[in-house]
């Protein structure tokens, strides 16, 4: 079956611009997670959704970051006024609660110039 | 203390040898344990899940769990150059959050 998809695969933007990253989870998966991975680093948890609600937003680095999920499916991560330190790979994962396994999408590589 | 700890490596093994990757975790209530493989420039791929003490085998991979010692390991038998990647240990305590280790880089020399 189809896995997690993310778009765009690559995004180059100028400092100060806003960007939207999209995640389409595995069909039927109720939970959705966003992570960030800087070059050579581990996974940094950003936010997760159970259905359309986000019980834990503790990982969002600043108020420039926001995310939403609609229809219990697609999610968008928005970064406003991008900074160079936002350059990273943004990964989305989905999970079929109560099963614990998470499955990752291919990621969006964001470069802020 | 980090919640999930792994040796960053690199761990270098010759082709055909057994690679042993180790992970310790801090939360005694942890219930589910995972190993992900991440090739350079790619996203993590789930390769093993283990829930109870003991060994779980899947092909050339064996996951080992010891909850008393808060220790989980991954053995790769007959290592191949294609196994060269970063291996992430991940632990779930039963809630929504899964904690990932920073990963161990494995190099398998031909």
Rounded CA separation B41/A106 (Å): 9
Which among B36, B43, B92 has CB closest to A105? B43
Residue A1 above 60 pLDDT? no
| Phi, psi at A21, each rounded to 5° | -115, 140
Average pLDDT taken over every residue of chain B: 95
Rounded CA separation A52/A12 (Å): 28
With CB atoms and an 8 Å threshold, state whether A56 touches B46. no
Assign A33 to helix, strand or coil: strand
Q: What is the mean pLDDT of residues A27-55?
A: 93
Rounded CA separation B47/A40 (Å): 21
The model's pLDDT over A79-113, given as tens digits with 9 standing for 90+, comes to 999 999 999 999 999 999 888 999 999 999 999 99
Mention every residue, 6+ apart, whose C-beta is less than 8 A from residue B95. none
Assign B97 a pLDDT band (cuts: 50, 70, 90). Answer: confident
The model's pLDDT over B63-93, given as tens digits with 9 standing for 90+, comes to 999 999 999 999 999 999 999 999 999 999 8
Nearest-CA neighbor of B90 among B39, B47, B52? B47
Mention every residue, 6+ apart, whose C-beta is less than 8 A from residue A41. B102
pLDDT for B80 equals 98
CA distance B55 to chain A (A): 18
Q: What percent of chain A has pLDDT over 70?
A: 99
């Amino acid at each position: 079956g189809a896995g997690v998809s993310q778009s765009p695969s690559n995004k180059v933007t100028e400092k100060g611009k806003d960007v939207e990253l999209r995640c389409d989870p595995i069909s039927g998966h109720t939970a959705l997670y966003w992570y960030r991975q800087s070059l050579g680093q581990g996974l940094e948890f950003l936010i997760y959704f159970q259905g359309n609600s986000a019980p834990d937003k503790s990982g969002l680095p600043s108020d420039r970051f926001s995310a939403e999920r609609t229809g219990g499916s697609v999610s968008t991560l928005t970064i406003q006024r991008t900074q160079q330190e936002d350059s990273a790979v943004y990964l989305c994962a989905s999970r079929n609660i109560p099963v614990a396994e998470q499955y990752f999408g291919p990621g969006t590589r964001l470069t802020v110039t | 203390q980090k919640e999930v700890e792994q040796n960053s490596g690199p761990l270098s093994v010759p082709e055909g040898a057994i690679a042993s990757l180790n992970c310790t975790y801090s939360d005694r209530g942890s219930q589910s344990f995972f190993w992900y493989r991440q090739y350079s420039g790619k996203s993590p791929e789930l390769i093993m899940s283990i829930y109870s003490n003991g060994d779980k085998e899947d092909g050339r991979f064996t996951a080992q769990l010891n909850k008393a010692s808060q220790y989980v390991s991954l053995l790769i038998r007959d290592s191949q150059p294609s196994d060269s990647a970063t291996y992430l240990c991940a632990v779930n305590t039963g809630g929504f959050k899964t904690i990932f280790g920073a990963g161990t880089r494995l190099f398998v020399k031909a």
